[in-house]
Structure 1
Amino acid sequence: MRKPVSVAFMAVAALALQAWAPAGAAGTSTYRSTSHPVLFVHGYNGAASNWDTMAGRFRNDGWPASHLDQWQYDSRQSNATTAQQLAAEVDRLLAATGASKVDIVTHSMGGLSSRHYAKHLGGSEKIDAWVSLAGPNHGTDAAESCFDASCHDMRFGSDFLTTLNSGDETPGTPRYATWWSPCDTFINPDSSVSVSGAVNRQTACIGHSTFLTDATVYAQVRDTVNS
């Protein structure tokens, strides 16, 4: 039975911006010379600060600040437009760090623009690992409650999703991975998150915004991008 959406989709930002527990204490560094810079892409109505906890944990695990890019964009615009801006940001980050590829870690709608970039704008050649946390990769009924261009992209059967999911859902050489929760009331159905050809993981019973701060999810994401 489909889970009810008890809160409007635009509440994602309010939930995501709640105070979080501080990042874990610094320990043995897991950063290596082969580790790539990480580009974080927030979701609908989100902000770069949504990633403060996760980026802090990466820093504690040895990633230099220069390799942690908490990118901000206008989430009301179409995901195709965001993908073009993302392409420019990837190139900027690669030039700034001297790296050959990036790891892209996304939350919610951030997975859609980054997949468009990988599939249609040559991004698959510049991405080593792509991570989708609670992404509406095949649509969500929560998008019926908002009306921006990006919301239309997230609706079932939209032209954007039809094109994005036609043919190979995981093109090129990036390592694709998704995480979904049975308790996420913003992504309905749960199966929307999983992408054919990716490593698709179920989390514990956590909410949509908790993906950003959950310690177990972080450790799995860190190990995925660093493998």
Structure 2
Amino acid sequence: MPRLSSSLVALLGCCLVLGVTTPLASAQMSLANPPPGANDFSCRPSAAHPDPVVLVHGLGATMGENWGYLSPLLAARGYCVFALTYGSDPRFPFAGGVIPIQQSAPELGAFVDRVLAATKAAKVDLVGHSEGTFMPEYWLKYLGGASKVNRYIAMTPLYQGTNLLGLAMLRDFGQSLGVSPLLLNLVGGFCGSCSQFLAGSEMVKALNQGGPAVAGVQYTTIPTRYDELVVPYTSGILNAPNATNHILQDVCPNDFSEHVAEAFDPVVAQIVFNALDPAHARAVSCAGLPPLLAPAPTGGAGASAPSRTGGAGHRGARRHRSQRRRHSHRRSTRSTRARRVARAG
């Protein structure tokens, strides 16, 4: 059973990738602190931007970690911006999104109701990342949220779940051996939502009943081919008349952002701006992105974005850039050797 154990450990690591890096002493502060530009409940939407924007973080993150980049940009553009940390477990007070989806979704609903009451707006626009593209679907479909949402922008979405590290197949194999309930119960003791992201789970089936896109909501999805957590990345593509899909590398081929990095990507931010205000959409600029050679795309669900100042996700982004540089160096070295061989011949 060594492969079974290593995959289980990997799942737990992915589920809590951000939380384990947050000092316990600052846990409650981290959960409660909004990102810059967010949660001014005296904000009144303008005629140009009549819908408040609600930011929904990913698995293991908090609102401050996930939205430190995008939130102030939206506020500077005149939006009323709001964010929440949902789904935290008192036993692990350092991360959000770890309780079952059915319990997190009402928290989002209560927060949206508070935003609508404070701003006097009729609807909100949602911007979600990772689990923030998955959990709200339950609220939209089963808890009456669809009537309160106009636009929904999804970064690294996973509507069909993930087969991260082959865990969905491993679960199915385990069911034939009668061990899956034991494994899922063990994982659920740390992260009640983690097993719900696996392709073929009961939650994935529920969200896809009748199709994942809910009528009346305008969807914009932003998958990345380099997503190492949503596997395959095409799990985030919506085939629906009320959905527009922007695969990141189709917009900017030289953008190698993976799962975490999307929350801090200027190209993604431009796509979000255009989706929120399509009447004033601008051409997306790819200028300033490093012209590096990328490693082979992978594909993967769950962990979410920390701030640029620290955390496991930040270190992962640095490792990703380092891998790209090494890959580029190896290509250059091979080309040099080939030229030498050609001259010698």
Say which of 134, 157, 174 aligns to 2:156.
Answer: 134
Say which of 189, 194, 199 aligns to 1:156.
Answer: 199
Tell me how far 1:209 sits from its aligned partner: 1.2
> What RMSD, in angstroms, separates the aligned Cα atoms of the two structures?
2.5
CA 1:157–1:76: 2 relative to 1, 3 Å:
same
List runs of 5+ in structure 1 lacking aligned partners: 1-5, 18-22, 24-30
Contact 2:15 2:194 in 1 (8 A): no
Q: Looking at CA atoms only, which structure, 1 or 2, has the larger radius of gyration?
A: 2
Q: How does 1:109-124 map to 2 (within 5 A)?
A: 109-124=131-146
In 2, the alpha carbon distance for the partners of 1:166 and 1:61 equals: 37
Say yes or no: does 1:33 pair with 2:47: yes
**Counterpart of 1:178 in 2: which secondary structure?**
strand
Which residue of 2 is the match for residue 26 of structure 1? none
Say yes or no: does 1:189 pair with 2:232: yes
Say which of 246, 251, 254 aligns to 1:201.
Answer: 246
Contact 1:39 1:69 in 2 (8 A): yes
Q: TM-score w.r.t. structure 1 length?
A: 0.83
In 1, the alpha carbon distance for the partners of 2:130 and 2:56 equals: 9
Tell me how far 1:168 sits from its aligned partner: 2.9
After the TM superposition, which segments of 4 or more aligned residues of structure 1 sit over 6 Å from their partners? none
Say which of 164, 167, 172 aligns to 2:210.
Answer: 167
In 1, the alpha carbon distance for the partners of 2:141 and 2:126 equals: 14
**Counterpart of 2:150 in 1: which secondary structure?**
strand
In 2, the alpha carbon distance for the partners of 1:194 and 1:32 equals: 32
Q: TM-score w.r.t. structure 2 length?
A: 0.56
Which residue of 1 is the match for residue 292 of structure 2? none
Identity rate, percent:
26
Say which of 98, 106, 116 aligns to 2:128.
Answer: 106
In 1, the alpha carbon distance for the partners of 2:194 and 2:16 equals: 14
Aligned AA (2:52) = P
Tell me how far 1:149 sits from its aligned partner: 1.7
**Counterpart of 2:134 in 1: which secondary structure?**
helix
CA 1:55–1:175: 2 relative to 1, 3 Å:
same
Contact 2:162 2:197 in 1 (8 A): yes
Q: Which has the higher helix share?
A: 2
Q: Which has the higher strand share?
A: 1
In 1, the alpha carbon distance for the partners of 2:236 and 2:105 equals: 19
List runs of 5+ in structure 2 lacking aligned partners: 1-9, 23-35, 37-44, 89-96, 168-183, 249-254, 279-345
Tell me how far 1:13 sits from its aligned partner: 2.5
In 1, the alpha carbon distance for the partners of 2:217 and 2:261 equals: 26
In 1, the alpha carbon distance for the partners of 2:103 and 2:48 equals: 31
- Between the two proteins, the alignment pairs up a number of residues equal to 207
Residues 67-93 of structure 1, C-alpha deviations (whole Å, 9 max, x = no match): 211210121111121111111111000
Contact 1:12 1:209 in 2 (8 A): no
